Amino acid sequence: MLRNLFRRVFSFPIMLGSIVVFWVLVCARSADFDPDLWWHLRNVEYLFTNLSFLQVDLYSYTAYGHAWLNHQWLAEIPYYLAWRAGGLLGVYVLFALLLVVIHLGIYYWAYSQSHNLKASFLVTCLSIFLTVVSFGPRTLLFSYLCLLALLLVLARYRATAQAPLWVIPPLFCLWINFHGSWVLGMAVIGVYVVSGLVEGSWGRVQAVRWTPQQLRRLLITLGASAAALFVNPFGHRLVFYPFDMAFRQRLVVAVTDEWASVDFHDARGKVVLVMLAAVLLGLLLSRHKWKVEEVLLAGLSLYAGLTHIRFLFLTAIILAPIFSKMLDRIPPYRPEIDKALLNASVMGVVLLIAAYCLPSRDDLSKAVAELYPTQAVTFIKTRGLAGNVFNHYMWGGYLIYHCREVKPFIDSRGDIFEYTGVLKDYMRTVYLDGSLQTLEKYHIEYVLVPPDTALAYLLKNQTGWKVVYSDKVAAVFERLSNEPGPVTGVPDNERRRDLPKNLSPSTECSPGKVRVCWPDWRGLGSLGARKVWCC
């Protein structure tokens, strides 16, 4: 009995799963701490303290009192509990664990459809090149757990007509409180319903019609799931929020990096291009008959992933079993030749390396200090700076949690700031389109931005402002007078969004030239979206 247990625990499939875990943990080490994390923590703190949900903005001074909907409230709670238990390390362990579970789920999902263990393992490892786009402490990860559960139930029901459909409505009840991406789940159910309304074969694509009883059960499940969406603290407002995001929050979508379409010139874009070529070749050369729901889901996921890079995670999940089937020429797993001792040795080495790669508390603190103005916040607290602060978009959440003496101008809750017009004013300011007028409009006394941005360059050469603190991450500017002084050293056409004519791209400036970072229009002035120019 012990020998059989040993062989099961240290089997070849589990050994491959340990390698998946290792690969995920290695990639998770370089994940950034999402700027939303900090206001998520503050939201749960408010919930636990007041035993009520935040209904209006209490954090910023530009949107204070404006109605706001916390559409991710349930997914915030685990992160807050992890933060209270272990600080940054606790948060890291939680999101790393979520990523491990999701990728093991992808591994199982691919194998359940292709029945090729080695191909499923290979595809799961390759999928990380796409899923890494959402690595970090993000509420969206709970959504992908829900998606995997939904796909497994629906695929089983499609194949055998026997599956626990009753779990789907409670799943959607959780999903809508986790994240607004529950809409993707409804789209998946819709694809399965439609795929069974026709029957036939078209080349390598085939469809099998639902029986009346099967279709009735599926439609009842769909209706119950739609009803379950209204079991939330905010009622119909939470149900309609994703549509508000899609049709009303145009500026947020336009300027946020993860909502951008795939750039085929960078490394990620090239991986996606190879993936597209593989899909086309697979459809042409594979011997498999493709189910119509597979084709529809593949089209949906490719459209979503190519249109918005944040959905490349979705693309990786949907396409995993399809790619596994394409690799059917890989020899299948043969349990009779399994070598448990060798598997155990590999698992031990892999997991030891993975444990060694886990970051320490100091490593995580340094990573946060490289992204957020930790030292500048200490300066602000020490000096007791008071007055309206204009801050970098990505740092607003950090100020909300770590610098409560100062209310931020803006943070990464883009919806509320688009509704109030603050986001538009922010964009105009950081791209030098009426910057000084915006600072006057909101009576800004201090500016907290990265030191190599265009706005920082403007204020350094503006006689009405002075630098009171600066390091490699952040600079703090203080207003000296109420009247803006003349600008020196700034191009005459500074208000234009295109590059000034007297700027030239360079990484090293010649003597007499000044080095300035001019931000990309797409990226909200994010750290990775600035280009170096000489003036």
> b/e for 31-67, b at 16 or more Cβ within 10 A?
bebbbbbbbbbbbbebbeeeeeebeebebbbbbeeee
Domains in the chain with CATH codes: 13-354 (no CATH), 373-534 (3.40.50)
Sheet holding 205-207, edge to edge: 200-202, 205-207, 290-291
pLDDT at residue 525 in the model: 39
Q: What is the distance between the alpha carbons of residues 396 and 439, in angstroms, rounded to a whole number?
A: 17
> What does the alpha-carbon distance between residue 433 and residue 438 come to, in Å, rounded to a whole number?
9
CB atoms within 10 A of CB 249: 20
531: CB partners within 8 A, 6+ apart: 505, 517, 518, 519, 520
What are 281's two structure tokens?
């070749």
* The pLDDT of residue 75: 97
Q: At what angle do helices 182-195 and 212-228 cross, to 10 degrees?
A: 170
Nearest 5°: phi and psi at 14? Answer: -70, -35
User: Alpha carbon of 42 to those of 38, 56, 377, 398, 493: distances in Å?
Assistant: 6, 14, 17, 10, 41
Question: Helices 361-371 and 73-114 sit at what angle, rounded to 10 degrees?
Answer: 110
Phi first, then psi: what are they for 518, rounded to 5°?
Answer: -105, 120
The pLDDT value recorded for residue 257 is 82
Radius of gyration from C-alpha coordinates of the chain: 26
Instruction: Give, in degrees to the nearest 5, the angle at Cα 190 between 185 and 194.
Output: 155
pLDDT attached to residue 187: 96
Contact 168, 156 (CB under 8 A): no
Q: Edge to edge, what strands does the sheet with 504-505 contain?
A: 504-505, 530-534, 515-519
**Contact call for residues 74 and 446 (beta carbons, < 8 A):** no
Q: What is the mean pLDDT of each run of 10 residues along the chain (535 residues)?
A: 81 93 92 94 96 94 94 97 96 96 97 94 93 94 97 95 94 96 96 94 89 95 97 95 88 83 85 81 74 92 91 94 88 87 91 85 95 96 92 96 94 93 93 87 96 94 93 95 45 38 46 43 37 44
Q: C-alpha distances in angstroms, 456 versus 330, 397, 447, 518, 519?
A: 56, 20, 9, 10, 11
Q: What's the rounded Cα separation, in Å, for the pair 36 and 43? A: 11
* Residue 482 confidence (pLDDT): 55
Strands 205-207 and 290-291: parallel
DSSP class per residue in 394-438: GGHHHHHHH-TTS--S--S-HHHHHHTTHHHHHHHHHTTSSHHHH
pLDDT value, residue 477: 97
Helix (H, G, I), strand (E, B) or coil at 523: coil
Tell me the sheet residues that pair with 388: 444
Q: What is the pLDDT of residue 91?
A: 97
Q: How far is CA 23 from CA 19, 103, 121, 127, 138, in A?
A: 6, 10, 11, 11, 19
pLDDT of residue 471: 95
Q: How far apart are CA 324 and CA 130, in angstroms?
A: 16
Structure tokens at 500: 């000034």
Distance between CA 186 and CA 84 in Å, rounded? 34
Q: What pLDDT, on a 0 to 100 scale, did the predictor assign at position 505?
A: 45
